[in-house]
Amino acid sequence: MGGTKINTCRICDNDENNRLFTVRETMFGTGDCFTYFQCSKCKCLQIQEFPKDLSKYYSSDYYSFESSSQYFKNPIERLARRLRDKYAVLNRGIIGKLLYNYFPNESLRSLSKLKLTKFTKILDVGCGAGFLLYSLTELGFNKLLGIDPYIEEDITYENGLKIVKSSIYKLKGEWDIIMFHHSFEHLTDPLETLLHVSKLLSEYGVCLIRIPTVSSYAWEHYGTDWVQLDAPRHLFLYSIESFQILAEKSNMELYYIYYDSNEFQFWGSEQNRKGIAHLSEISYRINPSKSFFSRSDIYKFREKAKKLNLENKGDQVALYLKKSKKI
């Protein structure tokens, strides 16, 4: 950290009265503990020291590396997904709207805030196996690219979609949309990344970043059991204030914020409190019938999440940035 104090905020440089937290790894249940600290000034929560080898915490079981095409093999399911996704992205279709109400997809819905055409050039950074881009390809979007440094090798799907094992710094060209769907919090170099994003964006391009946020009820209520802490993969848990600072430093303008949290903040955090790993056999994600949550519990969690989003207290946000006019 270049001679600065070990608990100096990497976002606003504050080094006074920052609070320490010990956080367990809860995705795989390894039992490993990590020290985080929260800046007393900008409220950003961040890991004290970056692990020397983060790759070991991204095994082949990590959820974002699951194959994308497997979800589109069944013809009926494929049609249903297309209708649902068309509504999510383009706000079109009554049947799709009904399907979305039962099977929401916040990642796709965040794109509805943008003016997209099938020729919009979209780059998805940290996309895993590229599930979201695969869905967009199924809708007819054809200028898409996904990158992720942690996949084993490049992926080329039968529909032409390409996912490349790469970092954003190796890319050139110009993009209309550059998006980070729950990948930005994994980066060790957020400021450098946003500066490079600014260079890659077209004149009226938009950077969409979806991240968990400590400006939320879940962090206030659950503390270190908050499921979206996800140590040590999540290196930064931003507050709205801290992200605003980061945007300004990178010559970007944060022009819109949309809260899109869901029931995961509750059932995941409750499992953490009970010491149940996210990928455990009795986790709600793996075996809902074997978990200790009823359908009624999940429904209540979902309704509470909707209420928190309306109050700007949900634990996930979609942030929309464009190039600053001050440049």
Q: Is residue 43 part of a domain?
A: no
Return the pLDDT at 116: 95
- pLDDT of 203 above 70: yes
- pLDDT of 277 above 70: yes
Q: Is residue 229 part of a domain?
A: no
Q: Is residue 46 part of a domain?
A: no
Q: Is residue 298 part of a domain?
A: no
- pLDDT of 239 above 90: yes
Quick one: average pLDDT of 56-71? 60
- pLDDT of 61 above 60: no
- pLDDT of 63 above 80: no
Length of the chain: 327
- pLDDT of 266 above 60: yes
Q: Is residue 228 part of a domain?
A: no
Q: What is the mean pLDDT of the chain?
A: 92
Q: Is residue 21 part of a domain?
A: no
d(C-alpha 89, C-alpha 117), whole Å? 10
DSSP string for residues in 58-107:
S-TTSGGGS-SGGGG-SHHHHHHHHHHHHHHHH---HHHHHHHHHS--HH
Question: Residue 163 sits in which domain range?
Answer: 61-187
- pLDDT of 4 above 60: no
* Long-range contacts of the stretch 84-93 (C-beta < 8 A, 24+): 85/135, 85/136, 85/138, 85/139, 86/139, 88/112, 89/116, 89/136, 89/139, 90/116, 90/139
Q: Is residue 111 part of a domain?
A: yes
Q: pLDDT, tens digit, for every residue of 309-320?
A: 999 999 999 999
In this structure, of 31-35, 149-153, 279-283, the range with the lowest mean pLDDT score is: 149-153
Q: How confident is the model at residue 2 (pLDDT cuts 50, 70, 90)?
A: very low
d(C-alpha 123, C-alpha 147), whole Å? 8
- pLDDT of 161 above 90: yes
Percent of the chain whose predicted confidence (pLDDT) is above 90? 85
Query: Looking at the 3D structure of the chain, how many domains does it have?
Result: 1
Return the pLDDT at 3: 45
Return the pLDDT at 1: 39
Return the pLDDT at 58: 72
Q: Is residue 128 part of a domain?
A: yes
Percent of the chain whose predicted confidence (pLDDT) is above 70? 93
d(C-alpha 86, C-alpha 71), whole Å? 16
Return the pLDDT at 53: 84
Quick one: average pLDDT of 233-244? 98
Return the pLDDT at 168: 96
